[in-house]
Copies of this chain bind each other. A is one copy, B any other.
């Protein structure tokens, strides 16, 4: 029980844990990667499809996908010549949904205070 992670009230995180968490969040911290994930939420897609749908270059999409793959968020399955990508970690959906919901609430709040504070 001498672990530094006291599971009682305060859960202090170790440096390495912080790095790991930060890395995961960093994977979600780029609009293009979020776009790719958002596209993949609609179902599996080949890299080529993602390139076309995202409007970005093939090189960039490939690079972003590699990062998402390294982060364990996206999986890849070969199918003929193509690489079929899919969301490998359901936490992606949860995190994005949560963040979207929060943003929506916030925007509604802002709109309301704007409307009431116009005078």
Contact = CB atoms under 8 A, between A and B. Distances in A.
A95 B106 CA distance: 17
Contacts of A11: 38, 41, 100
Nearest to A106: B72
Copies in the complex: 2
Interface in A77-119: 89, 91, 94-96, 98-100, 102-103, 106
Interface string A10-24: 111101011111111
Interface in A13-66: 13, 15, 17-26, 28-31, 33-35, 38, 41-42
A102 to B, nearest CB: 5
Interface of A: 9-13, 15, 17-26, 28-31, 33-35, 38, 41-42, 72, 89, 91, 94-96, 98-100, 102-103, 106
